[in-house]
Each structure stands twice: as C-alpha cells, then as structure tokens.
Amino acid sequence: MLNTIIFVTGAAILALELIASRILTPYFGVSLYIWSGILSITLVSLAAGYWRGGVLATGKASHAPTPEKLVYLFARMPAIASLAIVAASLAYPYLFHRLAQFDLVAGAFIACIVLLFLPLFVTSAMNPLLVAILLRHSAARGELADAGAGRVFFISTLGSVAGVIVTAFGLIQYMSNFAAALIVAALLAALPLVMLFGSSIRIAQRKRLTITASVALVASLGLLAGANAYTDRLWPAIYSGAQWRIESVYRSSFGTVKVLRSGPRDNEPFTRMYFQDGLVQNIVGATNRSLSLYTYALEALAYSYRPDLRTVLVLGIGAGMVPMRLAGRGVDVTTVDIDSASLRAATDVFGFDSTKVRAVQADARTFLRSCEGGYDVVVVDLFHGDGVPDYLVTRDFFRDLKRCLGTEGIAVFNTFADLDQPRAYAHFLTTLKSELPYVTLYRPDYGIASHINSFIVAGAAALPSPAGDDLGHVPPRHLPTLSAMLRKPIPLDQRLLAHGRAITDSNNPVAMDLAASQLINRRYIVEALPAAFFVN
C-alpha cells in the first residue's frame, strides 16, 4: 500500500510539472525563462521537502514520533498537496495575466511558485517519511542496511516516468489544463482515504486525517465539475472593439487551438479568430475569407516573383487560408504542420479541404530533409508561442529549404520584427543570407508601430523584378497598406545586417538576443489581449 502511494505521488509530481508548462505558456511564452522557472522551483521544492520530511521523521530529541504518527504524517501530505492545487487553480486564471503584465521573467517564477512549490514540497516530504516508517519496521525485526531507502526512491522515480507518459499522451490531449490539474488534485486527495478505509495500516489521528482528505477530495471534484462554469466567468472578452466567446477548442501534444467568435465585423455577420497558445494566428469572416493582411501579402509576393507558379509548399497550416487561396487559383499545394489540432480546426471550422490541398502532419524540419525538391515557391509561416522555434531559423534549416526549391524557386517568409530592437532580426537575416543570398524585405507601414510583420522573399539565384499581382480580392481595409508595401521593396544593406551572426544547429551564439526578442513579443501580446484568451 505504501509503495503504491509513493508511486502515485511520484507520478503526480511530474504530471503537475507538465501541466504547469501548458498553463504558463500562453501567459509567459515558450522560452528559456519558463523552463528555468519550472526546473528551479521544482528542485528547490524537492530539496526543501526532503529536508522537512527528514525533520518530521526524526522528531524532537526527547520525543521521536511513533510509527502511527509517522504514517499519519505520510498520509496527510497528499491531502495538503491537493488543497494547494485547488487553491492555485482558483487563482491562476485571474492572477497570471497580471503577473505577465507586471514582468515576464519575475512573473514566470512567481507563477511557478504558486503552481508548484507547496504541492511538490509536501509530496517530496513523503519519501523520507516512508524511509523512516520502513526503518522502524526493519529495526523491530533486527534488520539493518538502508531500510529500503533505495527502493523508495526507485519506486517514486518510476512513478514520475508513468506520470509523464499518462499526462503527455492522456490528460493534456483530452482535457483543459484547468481540469487536468484538478484530476491530479483529486487523485492525491483520494490516497489518504484509501489508506484509511482500504487497508489495515495503523494510523494516528484518523478523524483529523479523514476530515482533511475529504475536504480536499470534495473541493477538487467540486471545482472539476464546475470547471467550465468557473473559467467561463471571464467571458465574453473584449478585444479590438468586439466581444469574443469560445466557439470550439482543439488540443494536441503541441498546444491548444481556440476558435473564438465575435459579432459583426468588417461587413461580415460574424468573425472567427484562430488563437493558438497566446498568439492570434488569423481572423476570418463568416464566409471563410481571411481578414488578416499577412495572408494576402504572402499570396501576392509569391505571384509577384513567380507569376507562372505551379507548385507550392506551405510550412505551417494555421487556419488554412494561404494554402486554400493558392489552391483556388489552380496551384498544386502541399502543406505541412506538426500539430494535428491545427489541421482539425482548419478542416472543421475554416473550410480547409484536404481534397484540394495535400496535408502532411510532420515536423517542417523533418519534412524538408526528405524533400525531393522542385517547388516553385515555399511559403514559411511557422510560429509557436513567441515566434519561430530556434531549430527552424538555423543555417542548416535554410540549407534544407534551398534543396527543396526548384531551379528558379523562391521562399516567401512571414516573420515578426521589432524595429526598436533590430539585433535579433539581424541574426535571422544573416543566417538566411548565408544559404539564400538574394533577399528582399517588405514591411507594411503602420505609422508608429514598432512590432510588425516583416515579409521576406529569398532565393539561391538572383530574384526577378516583381511583376505584381491582382489585388482585387483583398479586403478594402488592407488594400492601401498592401499596395503601398508591394511598391516599396527594401533591399538588404549593412544597416539591416548590423551585428548579425549566423546560427547553426551546433552553435547558437545569439540565444540571449533571441530570448530578449521573444520577451518583447510576449509582452506585446499580454498587454494587448484580455485575460480570458490565455486560460486553458
């Protein structure tokens, strides 16, 4: 019984860490600081818990705890952890958005303390307590050695492995982060009750333990039953002059896609938003017509430089607007995305048709390595969390991309740049130019805005003069901006490349510059969007 419980609590520790990463990502981004916070708070919690468990097991010099008291202390810990998780779940939908607005780095560490410290502290204290229980049992039988300490930590660690597997392939794919945390809380709360009523183990203060565990179980299950009602209190949310509500949610191992819906907008009876892990990927009208400028910019740039294009590879499906627009013009389109949630959302809601576009679920990097080449255009629209993952902006990635292009093929990129902090973008341009040396940059003029979409056309051979494209299908609100942008290509010069350094798979000398850029992007997001968007 005791070994089983230490196995389950070991599983709960790692399960909670994984769930915490999913909870934190929309608020604080996919960054070095998130995992620094999670790992450091985890280790501090475990260290403090092991120490405190040892103190409790030893007791005062003149009054060592009885075996029954040790078992009581051991059994009480999961109930306390459960109550801590319930309290954190009640707080974080309202607290974490404010922490992110306060400071992304400090806020991430505080958020990790809120979610992880107390549950991990008390559950880790169970290991030395169980060793003490076994030691008393061994001493009574005249045995020596480690009293099973190695076995305790062995079982607890195996439980952690099981917790990772169950959480990664079960909990986070089929339920919200809020509900997943409460499932862990309910499981922990049930453990003392199992010990009390499912075994013959002698336990001190049974009444107090029964009350504590019962309160924890009722609280966790009650909040789990009302999870949607509790988080739905944040809705409707106001953004960009409209009220938004959740229409549908799609989950996978790689993130969560929310489809949000608002009332009339831009002469549309309603509009939908494709929102993924803290990033607005697209806004689409009722007839599945994109209302986002970038989709038309990518299409126009592809046709401006390759008016005769026949084959296109789109890396990153999003809501499926770009591949469907190109397919509608008779182009043979293949799209690649690692996230099954993206494909399901695009198909179910946004009119993506897999009979017209070949959809491949795969990592973009892996796909390019086996790419047979010959594409007229490769559209790169890869975002996750705060930007493009590091391994998709290396010289090695761009070398694979170059092999995937036809003789006169071009790559068209959708990127973000912060004009006030140009160094991070200079690294990207320098790395790209090392493999695709002919590069032209396009940026829409939004006046005083400094954090903007930047579109790039790149090729291994000299780029032809842009022929332009028919923009009659572009929404009127974007037409002047897009037309002006296409008339003013920006050639790369030393100013744009200043301080830029090439990034490779084996060497990233600019990690801190990229991390700083990601922080700027995430700060812009949390300041612009309401708290409701980030929950689950």
Give me the mean pLDDT over the 180-193 stretch.
95
Query: In the predicted model, what is the mean pLDDT of residues 251-279?
Result: 86
Where in the chain are the domains? 2-232, 235-276, 292-505
CA distance 238 to 241: 6
Q: Is pLDDT larger for residue 279 or for residue 396?
A: 396
Q: Is a pLDDT exceeding 70 seen at residue 535?
A: yes
pLDDT at residue number 385: 57
Q: What is residue 133's predicted lDDT score, i.e. its pLDDT?
A: 83
Average pLDDT over residues 475-496: 91
Q: Which of 298, 288, 297, 233 is nearest to 259 (CA)?
A: 288
The pLDDT value recorded for residue 315 is 93
pLDDT at 59 over 90: no
Residue 143, pLDDT score: 55
Q: How confident is the model at residue 399, as a pLDDT?
A: 92
Query: Which alpha helices (DSSP H) does 103-176 contain, by range?
Result: 104-112, 118-124, 126-140, 149-166, 172-174
Asked whether 32 and 208 are in contact (CB, 8 A), the reply is no
Report the pLDDT averaged over residues 144-152: 69
How far apart CA 186 and CA 433 sit, in angstroms, is 54
The pLDDT value recorded for residue 62 is 60
Q: What Å distances lie between residue 325 and 314, 328, 398, 411, CA to CA?
A: 12, 5, 25, 17
What is the mean pLDDT of the segment spanning 356-370? Answer: 92
Per-residue model confidence (pLDDT) at position 386? 61
**pLDDT (average), residues 451-463:** 90
Q: Evaluate if residue 362 carries a pLDDT over 70.
A: yes
Based on the number of CB atoms within 10 Å of its own CB, is 470 exposed (0-12), middle (13-18) or buried (19 or more)? exposed
pLDDT at 136: 75
Report the length, in residues, of the chain: 536
Q: Is the pLDDT of residue 127 over 70?
A: yes
What pLDDT band is residue 250 in, cutting at 50, 70 and 90?
A: very high
Whether 144 has a pLDDT exceeding 80, the answer reads no
pTM above 0.75, yes or no: yes
- 360 band by pLDDT with thresholds 50, 70 and 90: very high
CATH architecture of 292-505: 3-Layer(aba) Sandwich (3.40)
Cβ atoms of 261 and 271 closer than 8 Å:
yes
Query: How many percent of the chain have pLDDT more than 70?
Result: 96
Q: Which of 170-174, 192-196, 320-324 has the lowest mean pLDDT?
A: 170-174
pLDDT of residue 520: 77
- Please provide residue 508's backbone torsions phi and psi, each rounded to the nearest 5 degrees: -120, 90
